Chain A
């Protein structure tokens, strides 16, 4: 089939525009692809945000309580757009990355840093996060700007979380 130059040009423009739109959307989507949480991840996560408060939330599809409060975390993240929030999926033997992305997006957590527990020596990875963490979910670790850590297991108290962020000089 032969195409006239005008048709070719219009088609090319339309396709380029569509493709550029698609590319423009990619970084936001791709940022939410969970990175494997391995033996370098914890220190790297803290190092990247040194001096800033960081909220790290460990969750799992295997944990009904985690799924119940996922939307509340989404509301909290929306209310604190400048806060550094990381979500680490801690389902053993690996949860599906696409499903993690979808669940976080649906809960309004598309912009949080997302990780997924890498298969392997779970005890060692957990020990690196917190010697006292026994693997219960949900589990949240708050790292203050000065490196001080506060932890809690179970459902989050978002009023207290907001107060903690305020205390860190961040809304």
Chain B
């Protein structure tokens, strides 16, 4: 061994000199990329954070930082937080795709569900649910949201009024089955599961729709007790990736699929931008989405007054020259709020529009937050009739900003 070191030492130096520029460039990039990154599980280190209000008005936020999912609650609208709960480390890294984030949902009787996904090297997702039945004093260990599926991503969970959780996600079990048979299969599938009883466990998954877009978040809202509505990017005949809604019937089964808009998105690309859906007290569906079609391209809003069968003419949102993106809609009280990102070449604004007539007319947009660095997507959340912007930027930290309707 000694002679090996003696002979090879100088040659390795020479080799290192020859390859040094490449290695140095890669190393500098790595250092630059992580120069300001923080590594702990603290909220201040989060890359994505999702806020939500419990029925008693307690504010909660769940976030991803330091490779873990954490959650904490606040009795003073985010000024101070109780000691965070950090979920166990998972076997695979957390899903860090552009539309992935941990989420938190609340049911009656102190029931809470936190959901998140991990991913493997091929971006196959593995979605988990963590529950509390005592208002967040204790949480279960993470449980897989389903079994028998090679991939689940973009899980969305909401509680029905009776206390049962409804979960929907993008699933690849039928993709794998088709591949095994040597058959083609476009995209993935929309899957769902209900709790077997209030406070129980998710039942076996059902595929609601084959051939949906595989790389965008989905949106879930309740149109009434037992009637969840899912909005997602469907793959229509001819490979058209336009948005659709599906309202579940009283027996908990998926109803007909209705197209939200004829974007005519004939494209085999991952937009990485899923839709947002909120349903007002008057039953109006409010939908916003990113279109990448031959008819429509950009961010749009539309509403439906007949349970999603038809939608209003899509309204273009934002300035086309400012990379309008990541729209989010919320119906709270008698008002509708719509927030989105806007980038002018140097800074990102979170712009807000509001409607006082159920989406028929809208205020001019105004900026409610800004940053000159990276930031999370805007999320709108309600505490009763009050609306808030939940937003994370690593430079400024987490923000919970109260919103006012504008005339």
Which residues of A approach B to under 8 Å, CB–CB? 1, 3, 8, 11-12, 15-16, 19-20, 22-23, 26-27, 30-31, 33-36, 38, 60-66, 91-94, 97, 99, 116, 118-124, 126-127, 131-132, 134-139, 153-155
Closest residue on chain B to residue A22 by CB atoms:
B15
Closest residue on chain B to residue A118 by CB atoms:
B33
Residues of chain A with a CB closer than 8 A to B292's CB: 134, 136, 153
Q: With contacts A12-B7, A63-B270, A92-B97 known, is A30 near B19, CB below 8 A?
A: yes
Distance in Å: Cβ of A45 to nearest Cβ of chain B: 14
Given A120-B33, A127-B345, 4 more A-B residue pairs with CB atoms under 8 Å apart are A15-B11, A19-B8, A61-B123, A121-B373
A26 to B12, CA, bound (A): 12
Residues of chain A with a CB closer than 8 A to B195's CB: none
Q: Are B11 and A131 in contact (CB under 8 A)?
A: no
User: With an 8 A cutoff between CB atoms, is B138 at the interface?
Assistant: no
Q: List 19 A-B contacts (CB under 8 A).
A: A15-B8, A16-B11, A20-B11, A36-B28, A36-B29, A36-B30, A36-B32, A62-B98, A62-B272, A119-B33, A120-B374, A122-B374, A124-B346, A131-B323, A131-B345, A134-B292, A135-B98, A137-B272, A154-B267
Residues of chain A with a CB closer than 8 A to B373's CB: 120-121
Q: Are A23 and B270 in contact (CB under 8 A)?
A: no
Residues of chain A with a CB closer than 8 A to B22's CB: 30-31, 33
Q: With contacts A11-B3, A33-B23, A92-B96 known, is A155 near B122, CB below 8 A?
A: no
User: With an 8 A cutoff between CB atoms, is B343 at the interface?
Assistant: yes
Closest residue on chain A to residue B37 by CB atoms:
A119
Which of A12, A62, A65, A99 touches B97 (beta carbons < 8 Å)?
A: A62
Distance in Å: Cβ of B348 to nearest Cβ of chain A: 6
Q: Are A135 and B325 in contact (CB under 8 A)?
A: yes
Q: Are A30 and B23 in contact (CB under 8 A)?
A: yes
Residues of chain B with a CB closer than 8 A to A153's CB: 267, 269, 292
Closest residue on chain A to residue B122 by CB atoms:
A61
Interface residues of B in 1-60 (CB under 8 A from A): 2-4, 7-8, 11-12, 14-15, 18-19, 22-23, 25-26, 28-30, 32-34, 37, 47
Residues of chain B with a CB closer than 8 A to A16's CB: 7, 11
Closest residue on chain A to residue B12 by CB atoms:
A19
Closest residue on chain A to residue B372 by CB atoms:
A121
Q: With contacts A62-B215, A92-B98 known, is A154 near B271, CB below 8 A?
A: no
Q: Are A136 and B29 in contact (CB under 8 A)?
A: no
Distance in Å: Cβ of B209 to nearest Cβ of chain A: 18
Q: With contacts A36-B28, A124-B346, A131-B321 known, is A63 near B8, CB below 8 A?
A: no
Q: Are A137 and B269 in contact (CB under 8 A)?
A: yes
Q: With contacts A11-B3, A123-B343, A124-B346 known, is A155 near B290, CB below 8 A?
A: no
Which of B11, B26, B268, B346 touches A33 (beta carbons < 8 Å)?
A: B26
Q: With contacts A118-B33, A155-B268 known, is A124 near B343, CB below 8 A?
A: yes
Distance in Å: Cβ of A94 to nearest Cβ of chain B: 6
Q: Are A15 and B7 in contact (CB under 8 A)?
A: yes
Closest residue on chain B to residue A24 by CB atoms:
B18
A121 to B348, CA, bound (A): 10
User: With an 8 A cutoff between CB atoms, is B121 at the interface?
Assistant: yes
A119 to B37, CA, bound (A): 9
Closest residue on chain B to residue A30 by CB atoms:
B22
Mask: chain B, 256-286; 1 = CB below 8 Å from A; 0 = not: 0000000000011111110000000000000
Q: Are A11 and B269 in contact (CB under 8 A)?
A: no
Distance in Å: Cβ of B390 to nearest Cβ of chain A: 19
Residues of chain A with a CB closer than 8 A to B372's CB: 121
A132 to B292, CA, bound (A): 11
Residues of chain B with a CB closer than 8 A to A139's CB: 269
A23 to B96, CA, bound (A): 37
A83 to B268, CA, bound (A): 25
User: With an 8 A cutoff between CB atoms, is B214 at the interface?
Assistant: yes
Closest residue on chain B to residue A155 by CB atoms:
B268
Q: Are A23 and B14 in contact (CB under 8 A)?
A: yes
Residues of chain A with a CB closer than 8 A to B268's CB: 65, 154-155
Residues of chain A with a CB closer than 8 A to B270's CB: 60, 62-66, 136-137
